[in-house]
Amino acid sequence: MERWREAYKLLADDLGARGIDVEKVKAALKKQWIETPSWGYGDSGTRFKVFKQPGAARTPFEKIADAAQVHKFTGIAPSVALHIPWDKVDDYRELKEYAESLGLKLGAINPNLFQDDDYKLGSVCHPDPAVRQKAVEHILECIEIAKTVGSQIISLWLADGTNYPGQDSFRARRHRLIEALQQAYAAMPAPMRLLIEYKFFEPAFYHTDLGDWGMALLTAQKLGERAQVLVDLGHHPLGTNIEQIVAILIDEGRLGGFHFNNKKYADDDLTVGSINPYELFLIFNELIAGELDPSVDMNVAYMIDQSHNVKPKIEAMIQSVLNVQETYAKALLIDREKLTEAQLAGDIVRAEETLLEAYRTDVRPLLAAVREEMGLHPDPLAAYRASGYYEKICAERQPTEGGSSGYPGA
């Protein structure tokens, strides 16, 4: 710990010389909130195989207990998202009280509109009105669950689309989509928000009904101010400038949330920051620019959405939270005044170097200092490994029979 303190003193002096208000940065870091997903703690797999892990959570209560460990050691993951029916229980008030007893809140409620046999040709876009009504009723069920547990977010991802030309009408499907979501939106009490997620492809390979951010934005605009867009970092074609999408959605007041993960090829759901950390930094650059703009009303939910198929579940989640925290810390160090001056002067090199100066800064000593001030161990992953929790759950939990928790990589 003494090594971290010495390194922090040197870093604080350097940041001060650069005109960075270190205490202001630390205050922002202490307020950071990252939601983890219940489905990240249970057994899951690829389309080919589920590799069962010792100690993996088997019930919603065990998932919440594991999420509480992530918050215990990081201090910035105080809520956990639920997926229905994967996390279906008889008494949601009991689940809420259990989460609160562990220092957690229940976060976004995610309806499942892709695993039922009836959804072979879609859910809310299905040609059969009976199937569409079934899908709407499930969303309404999730809204009631959200009311019960105190959640203010319905996070909606649809697998709807077609596989072959001529299979269905693009416009007719869009009309069905909007009509169904208007029913759901009308049932949502303020300030509850509907976050509309999009995905470039998969499982539909000819067209996807919500295939990009523009389709999601247009749909949100049809519904009302409390309908916003959710950006999943793995849901774009290769080479997409996600930070530009983020900037435009901020400007329109429609950026509602993030599903953090990382990709190499498609929707790989890898540990956030593990493949392209600079892209994540540039995204946070835009997010912080929005937060600092008094003309912008920012209300963004930051959530992890990853499938840890081969990594230990809790360790992988701690890694994810720490990678987001580290990137946020670096983006907070950008000299905004210097950057704006360079941009207005057309000084491209100086502008880029301003970003790189922050990106190249080793913020680990700063984060260690913040954690100590929060009463946490400066190295959360090492502290978790030393806690004995993993050995405890491996001894207590026996693997479930059958397949995965159902997580498809959405």
pLDDT-based confidence at 2, cuts 50/70/90? confident
pLDDT at residue 332, rounded to an integer: 98
**Residue 174: exposure state from Cβ atoms within 10 A (0-12, 13-18, ≥19):** middle
**Nearest C-alpha neighbor of 311 from the set 62, 54, 68:** 54
| pLDDT tens profile 64-94 | 999 999 999 999 999 999 999 999 999 999 9
Mean pLDDT of 216-237: 98
Torsions phi, psi of 247, nearest 5? -60, -40
Q: Tell me whether residue 148 is exposed, middle or buried, using C-beta atoms within 10 angstroms of its C-beta: 0 to 12, 13 to 18, 19 or more.
A: middle
Report the C-alpha gap between 270 and 74 in whole angstroms. Answer: 20
- Bridging pattern class, strands 36-37 and 79-84: parallel
User: Rounded to the nearest 5°, which phi and psi values hold at 340?
Assistant: -65, -40
State residue 193 phi and psi, 5-degree precision.
Answer: -115, 150
The edge-to-edge listing of strands for the beta sheet with 105-111 is 36-37, 79-84, 105-111, 153-156, 193-197, 227-232, 255-260, 301-304
Residue 240: CB partners within 8 Å, gap ≥ 6? Answer: none
Whether 347 maps to a domain, the answer reads no
On whether the CB atoms of residues 150 and 194 are closer than 8 A, the answer is: no
pLDDT-based confidence at 307, cuts 50/70/90? Answer: confident
The residue with greater pLDDT, 407 or 62, is: 62
Q: What is the pLDDT of residue 315?
A: 98
Q: Provide the 10 A C-beta neighbour count for residue 338.
A: 16
> Do the Cβ atoms of 20 and 335 come closer than 8 Å?
yes
pLDDT at 45 over 80: no
Q: Is the pLDDT of residue 409 over 50?
A: no
- pLDDT computed for residue 398 by the predictor: 80
Percent of the residues in the chain that have a pLDDT greater than 90, as a whole number: 93
pLDDT of residue 46: 72
- In the chain, the percentage of residues whose pLDDT exceeds 70 is 97
* DSSP calls for 13-40: HHHHHTT--HHHHHHHHHT---BEEGGG
| pLDDT tens string 168-209 | 999 999 999 999 999 999 999 999 999 999 999 999 999 999
Give the contacts of 80 (CB within 8 A, at least 6 positions apart): 35, 36, 37, 38, 63, 64, 67, 99, 104, 105, 106, 107
Cis, bond preceding 191 (omega within 30 deg of 0): yes
Cα distance between residue 197 and residue 212, in whole Å: 9
Q: Which of 132-146, 167-181, 297-311, 350-364 has the lowest mean pLDDT?
A: 297-311
The answer to whether position 404 is within a domain reads no
* Residue burial 364-376, b: 16+ Cβ < 10 Å; e: rest: bbbbbbbbeeeeb
Q: What is the CATH number of the domain that holds 42?
A: 3.20.20.150
Q: Is residue 194 part of a domain?
A: yes
Grouping H, G, I as helix, E, B as strand and the rest as coil, residue 77 is coil
* Residue 349, in any domain of the structure: no
Contact 70, 107 (CB under 8 A): no
Q: For residue 410, what pLDDT band results from cuts at 50, 70 and 90?
A: very low
Please write down the HEC assignment for all residues of 135-197. Answer: HHHHHHHHHHHHHHHCCCEEEECCCCEECCCCCCCHHHHHHHHHHHHHHHHHCCCCCCEEEEE
Cα–Cα distance between 195 and 146 in angstroms, integer? 13
Q: If DSSP codes are grouped into helix, strand and coil, which group holds residue 85?
A: coil
pLDDT for residue 51: 86
Per-residue pLDDT band at 408 (split at 50, 70, 90): very low
Q: What is the DSSP string of 95-108?
A: HHHHHHHTT-EEEE
Residue 323 lies in a domain: yes
Whether residue 190 lies inside any domain: the answer is yes
Say yes or no to pLDDT of 273 above 90.
yes
Tokens of 89: 């229980």
Chain segment 341-366, per-residue pLDDT in tens: 999 999 999 999 999 999 999 999 99
In total, how many domains does the chain have? 1
List the domain range (segments joined by +) for residue 161. 2-332+363-396
Nearby residues of 337 by Cβ (< 8 Å), 6 or more positions away: none
Whether 163 contacts 146, CB under 8 Å: no
| The predicted structure's pLDDT at residue 57 | 97
CA nearest neighbour of 353 among 363, 338, 364: 338
pLDDT given for residue 404 in this prediction: 43
CB 303 within 8 A of CB 259: yes
Q: What is the arithmetic mean of pLDDT over 230-235?
A: 97
Query: What does the pLDDT read at residue 399?
Result: 66
